Structure 1
Amino acid sequence: MKENKINVKIILEDGEKVCKANIGDNLLDVIRKNNIDFDTPCNGNGSCGKCRCRLRENTEIGVSSKKHLSEAELNSGVRLACDTKVMNDLTVELSNKIKDMTVLISGVEKEFKINPSIKKHYIVLEKPTLDDQRDDLMRIKDFLKESFNLENIDIDLNILRKITKAIRKDDYKFTITLFDNKIIDIEPSDTTKDNYGLAIDIGTTTIAVYLMSLYDGRQIDVISEVNNQRNYGADVISRINYTIENSDGLKKLKASIVSQINDIVKNIGKRNNINIDNIYDTVIVGNTTMIHLLLGIDPEYIAKAPYISGFTEAMNFSPKDIGFSFKSNISIMPGVSSYVGSDITAGILSSGMLESEKYSLLLDLGTNGEMALGNKDEVITCSTAAGPAFEGANIKYGVGGILGAISEIDLSKKNKIKTIGNKPPCGVCGSGVLDAVSEMIKYSLIDETGRMFDEEDDDFEFEEYEYLTKDLVEIDGMKQYILAKDQNGDIISFTQKDIREVQLAKAAINAGIQILVKEKNLDFNDIECLYLGGGFGNYMNVKSSLQIGMIPLELDGKIKSIGNCAGSGAKMYLLSKEYRNLIVNKINTSKYIELSNRKEFQEYFVNGMMMERIYEPAQKSQTEEAAVSSI
């Protein structure tokens, strides 16, 4: 019987693809099955309104589309893919701007002595004689003991199988590779410089792969990409839910990340003209859910109270067991808990807080808000569900750090916004979200409770900036402030609901910081430094974070951005056995604080919802002449 298939033509910015579908198929499922990159932060449950597409044919309007889209958008053919059924041939216009996301790959680097677990030794053996009939392995062990003071040497069986030929191929001149005290490779001639490792930071949103020389510690190359798992949700809970709701969900998410890393490693070897068989150790960091998905471990119970993960300790695995196509040993850095993963552990290591007598804080704001307080003696950690607001998932016109994202806002200037790449605006990313609320507080467009100014309020406080109120509008019953218009002439605004989302996020972060400091009976004078890690921490305006009350004002002057601290920590773990041992031992004795169990959290949280103006508006004479007309 002939299948009743229909055509769905997907129009992308860089080409088009014709897909086959069955009548009644969900459009988002069709897009996913055909491996088309598409941003779906809520995993298609209809809550975020981000999977927008434009259909050239008339289709039924779903419930979620009616909820999130304006009448003008619906009339122009815009729909949400997650609640659109494919009932006939369709032509669908998609934006895959997520591929243009800015990925932070640099971090503050410490100087330290290189001492990796992987070592290569060039050996020239005396040839055996009738008077010296030691076996090949014994002769190698004796040489290592005499020349390098190495004892208790073990050997991989596969290497033992080729030992007899390998050492004789170049007349008993050869190179052995050791992982700690185990021989894992043997090659004819001197290949000591062909010694490489990888440090891989698997973020919820992005991936960064660093190629490192284990011979001299140099960073040779780095490749960064958007995490392909984003097609299954922007945050860890969405991805966990996908594995629960779909019988093959875990298999798909594992295959997605493994395939992507395999491709990156292949590409990084090719473009640097190295044999990837000479990559011997790969250190991987990521939040606990990302590591579970990579290893194919069911993450379901991470999302359910009491939030228990399968494991958090340091591990070493065979690449074949994971599904990697390269031969390197796989080292997983230790995490602390279900919501403080090895990416934070790596940040703790690279920040340097473990080498100081004084206490420091680490704050990493991604899809969650993780933080740590520690010094050379101890570390305590906690996590807050704060990230979605700053990743754009819960913001009406929120986007990731893509080209065209509004990243800076200054309401005192004629051109009040700046976008990434100076491209036409397409939405607001995390740093822009922070600036939006900060600027609206500064100019009294919102009050201390977060309520937007409206016509019934008393006269505007700053007469010379009264023109700003003209961009305060109400659309579909929601008060909002117009920031810009996109290249199609559609408005990009910041809504009253967006402000509430930021208040919830910043109050949770502030409360977490307060509880960590109180836990050790410290005050903010005792804190040496607040390290900001991750992409959002790197690009955000620190003054904006202080203005909205996300970071306590007492820490002003102690704040330092350290970039991709997870990647930097992974490189330290790869290149130094001493740092590897330090962080493993320290994390084994660390303490995780579950904020929901703390009575004082609610008090700190409620207080943290309020906003007080810290910085006064700029004097008009000191700024550009602003345009007084509404956008």
Structure 2
Amino acid sequence: MPDIINTNPADYLVVFTPSGIRGRFPKGTSLLKAARDLGVDIDSVCGGRGICGRCQIEPVVGDFPKFGVKSSADSLSPLAANEKKYDERRGLREGRRLSCHVTLQGDTVIDVPQSSQVHKQIIVKAAEDRVIEIDPAVRLHYVTVQEPDMHNPTGDFERLALALEQQWGLRDLECDLRILQKLQKELRKGDWAVTVAVHRETRIMALWPGFHSDAYGIAVDVGSTTIAMHLCNLSTGQVMGSNGMMNPQIRYGEDLMSRVSYVMMNEGGEKVLTSAIRTGINQLLTELCENTKIDPMNVLSAVFVGNPIMHHLLLGIDPTELGGAPFALASNSGMILWATEIDLCSNPDGRVYFLPCIAGHVGADTTAVILSEAPHLQEKVTLIVDIGTNAELVLGNNSRLLAASSPTGPAFEGAQIACGQRAAAGAIERVRIDPVTKQARYKVIGCDLWSNEEGFEDAIDGFGVTGICGSGIIEALAEMFLAGILSEDGVINGDLVDQSPWIIAEGRTFAYVLREDPVNPIRVYQTDVRAIQLAKAALYAGAKLLMDRFGVSEVERVLLTGAFGSHIDTKYAMILGMIPDCDLAEVSAIGNAAGIGARIALLNKQARSQAEELISKVEKVETAVEPDFQQYFVDAMALPHKSEPYTNLAKVVSLPEKAEPSNGADKNRRRTRRRRAASD
């Protein structure tokens, strides 16, 4: 349901991100109390005494038109005595405050870090086991160098280069200025034995005195909703650790276009968004290095993938041109940078590689997906769907590849859904509905039991049932359709109100009750159905346009990827008509393919060249200007589709017979008129 908002203009407005929950409170109210009153997820063990430090928050300073708030440092009380004591005893991370001792002094925006949340969000992007040929762009070489003498005036670098040629076969090497600045000291410290890191067998980029064996790299998938990072050993390919977080840019806009709008409406907005994403990436890297006890100075290589807007903002490029036709990229080529050029807190001489983008709305993450799944090497016509706030699609086989994007919005990930939330403990993720009683049973993240199994309520006692995430809403709608609760046109059947307590009137429409709870009922509203219909219709229409351009009426294989796509049940995705009809045995969720592609590029330098060559041959289809898109979109609003028979799906699922939709809204209006007539 909508956020709880106290409309008293005399009170101050506080907005908590990334949830977006907001409310007004009197001056002097502690942020912890405000958060608890609003139901914001902030942890506290010591009961607000400033001892445990678990309730840390990050005040955000700036102008936020999205929330109607101008947040300043004066919006909060000065550092309290207990905060100072905690900082002296255990240390507060820079910029953080203890919410139990911070009070409101004005309108403010507050970020609740993942580490301060009771129900810490589960980031579903994780490294998958893949066989990758290890041939990294950065390699270590240990050498002994001939000492200088009066009879041979050759410089130290030249003698180091000669040693590398003689001992490793590396010729015509160059080096960075920073290497020259410390070369002589390191050679003498190592008693003329050093280890050097060489980038692509052409340039010395780091060195250590004596023997050094630690070289690591990171593969990073920068999504609009989440960031996933994998820390890998460059020598073995082993994933030392993986981590993820919500993209901190969310506070400036849920979807990509809203972030472009933020840049356009706020002078210097691109710098704010660039700083936010770089700070988040450095936080992930710092945490990974701390958890794995790896020195960040040993992180020598990085590969980044992401959609074009994330790509530009991470590079510090204004993304305004991507906000409208012709969606021009500043550059779509692959590029190599120093780590310092994007403020990465790794070895400053480390190298960063950005995979190439394909087009204005089809980014390097799609390039990474192609690199990972290699549809260009397959005979079967394959559709790959990366489902996120902006879905990216690839269709093809070994004859040709096509790519497109569809603006699905954030509904699939729980946003725009009344009881929706991102994947976290307590979120409904699986749903089954009895076709006779219409009652649902469900599973929530953090519990292995179904809701109708003994012990379920005890098992969820620590976190409860808090909402429904993307996979849950997909299954809920599909099950509602199969159970006759939802019509082909996506209308909740109001005729069932008198037959089942799980269908209730909600204004002029109806709602389905997943969980009846006096404090936090979980329901599916008609507006939720529409939000999913709009998203899935855009997705299907994009796929249909690619099929037309390729010249096929059906696809032979479908792969779902992305933060959301990799965790939905493929059968239910097809029941809703999110994807074209296909043999279900050929439909699969493949995990975070973009992250896998980034790891391949990190660990195999030849893969980078292959990717750059490959994307030059990909044909881009711009859905926004295709004349058939609107009709395909309208037809795809129906479940699973207005005209497509879905014969493959019908072989394994008993689909409802096509019928006229129940006009539940009209029935509700008739009841209203009867009540008015009776009162007259």
Same fold (TM over 0.5): yes
Cα deviations across residues 328-352 of structure 1 (Å, max 9, x unaligned)? 3221121112321112221121123
Alignment correspondent of 2:445: 420
Alignment correspondent of 2:255: 235
Cα deviations across residues 299-333 of structure 1 (Å, max 9, x unaligned)? 22322233233333212222323233332322112
Which secondary structure does the structure 2 equivalent of 1:394 belong to?
A: coil
Alignment correspondent of 2:208: 187
Q: Cα 1:554–1:93, aligned 2, differ >3 Å: closer, same or farther? A: closer
Answer whether contact 1:533 1:565 (CA < 8 A) is retained.
yes
> Where do 5+ consecutive residues of structure 1 fail to align?
19-30, 47-85, 461-465, 619-631
Answer whether contact 1:440 1:446 (CA < 8 A) is retained.
yes
Q: Cα 1:600–1:368, aligned 2, differ >3 Å: closer, same or farther? A: same
Matched, 1:411 2:433: yes
Alignment correspondent of 2:545: 515
Which secondary structure does the structure 1 equivalent of 2:31 belong to?
A: strand
Alignment correspondent of 1:393: 415
Cα deviations across residues 566-624 of structure 1 (Å, max 9, x unaligned)? 11111111100111111111113322111122222233222212225943389xxxxxx
Matches of 1:542 and 1:217, distance apart in 2: 31
Matched, 1:471 2:491: no
Q: Which has the higher contact order (CA 8 A, sep 6+)?
A: 1
How far off is 1:128 after superposition? 4.3
Matches of 1:589 and 1:296, distance apart in 2: 28
Which secondary structure does the structure 2 equivalent of 1:516 belong to?
A: helix
How far off is 1:223 after superposition? 1.9
Which secondary structure does the structure 1 equivalent of 2:501 belong to?
A: helix
Matches of 1:292 and 1:88, distance apart in 2: 34
Answer whether contact 2:368 2:598 (CA < 8 A) is retained.
yes
Alignment correspondent of 1:325: 345
Q: Cα 1:32–1:376, aligned 2, differ >3 Å: closer, same or farther? A: farther
Alignment correspondent of 1:339: 361
Between 230-239 and 141-150, the greater mean CA deviation after superposition: 141-150
Q: Which amino acid aligns with 2:605?
A: K
Match of 2:493 among 435, 453, 463: 453
Matched, 1:273 2:303: no
How far off is 1:546 after superposition? 1.3
How far off is 1:468 after superposition? 7.0
Matched, 1:437 2:477: yes
Match of 1:44 among 60, 67, 90: 67
Alignment correspondent of 2:676: none
Matches of 2:118 and 2:469, distance apart in 1: 12
Matches of 2:217 and 2:48, distance apart in 1: 38
Answer whether contact 1:125 1:173 (CA < 8 A) is retained.
yes
Answer whether contact 1:7 1:89 (CA < 8 A) is retained.
no
Match of 2:139 among 93, 107, 119: 119
Alignment correspondent of 2:519: 489
Matched, 1:568 2:596: yes
Matches of 2:320 and 2:307, distance apart in 1: 15
- The CA RMSD measured in Å over matched residues stands at 3.2
Alignment correspondent of 1:209: 229
Alignment correspondent of 2:79: none
Answer whether contact 1:43 1:238 (CA < 8 A) is retained.
no
Answer whether contact 1:319 1:330 (CA < 8 A) is retained.
yes
Matches of 1:324 and 1:148, distance apart in 2: 30
Alignment correspondent of 2:193: 173
Matches of 1:429 and 1:334, distance apart in 2: 32
Answer whether contact 2:248 2:280 (CA < 8 A) is retained.
yes
How far off is 1:563 after superposition? 0.8
Matches of 2:399 and 2:151, distance apart in 1: 57
How far off is 1:161 after superposition? 2.2
Q: Cα 1:617–1:243, aligned 2, differ >3 Å: closer, same or farther? A: same
Matched, 1:531 2:559: yes
TM-score, with structure 1 as normaliser: 0.79
How far off is 1:467 after superposition? 8.6
Alignment correspondent of 1:366: 388
Answer whether contact 1:198 1:283 (CA < 8 A) is retained.
yes
Q: Which amino acid aligns with 1:578?
A: Q
Alignment correspondent of 1:254: 274
Matched, 1:616 2:654: yes
How far off is 1:6 after superposition? 4.0
Match of 2:613 among 585, 601, 604: 585
Cα deviations across residues 56-93 of structure 1 (Å, max 9, x unaligned)? xxxxxxxxxxxxxxxxxxxxxxxxxxxxxx99999x99
> Where do 5+ consecutive residues of structure 2 fail to align?
1-11, 13-25, 36-41, 50-55, 70-103, 448-459, 641-648, 657-680
Q: Which amino acid aligns with 1:333?
A: L
Q: Cα 1:93–1:507, aligned 2, differ >3 Å: closer, same or farther? A: closer
Answer whether contact 2:28 2:105 (CA < 8 A) is retained.
no
State the number of aligned residues.
546
Matches of 1:175 and 1:377, distance apart in 2: 46
Q: Cα 1:355–1:577, aligned 2, differ >3 Å: closer, same or farther? A: farther
Which secondary structure does the structure 2 equivalent of 1:489 belong to?
A: coil
Matches of 2:470 and 2:107, distance apart in 1: 38
Answer whether contact 2:128 2:591 (CA < 8 A) is retained.
yes
Match of 2:173 among 117, 139, 153: 153
Alignment correspondent of 2:630: 602
Answer whether contact 1:379 1:587 (CA < 8 A) is retained.
no
Q: Cα 1:415–1:445, aligned 2, differ >3 Å: closer, same or farther? A: closer
Answer whether contact 1:43 1:234 (CA < 8 A) is retained.
no
Q: Cα 1:416–1:344, aligned 2, differ >3 Å: closer, same or farther? A: same
Answer whether contact 2:143 2:167 (CA < 8 A) is retained.
no
Match of 1:301 among 298, 309, 321: 321
Which secondary structure does the structure 1 equivalent of 2:353 belong to?
A: strand
Percent identity over the alignment is: 29
Matches of 1:32 and 1:300, distance apart in 2: 31
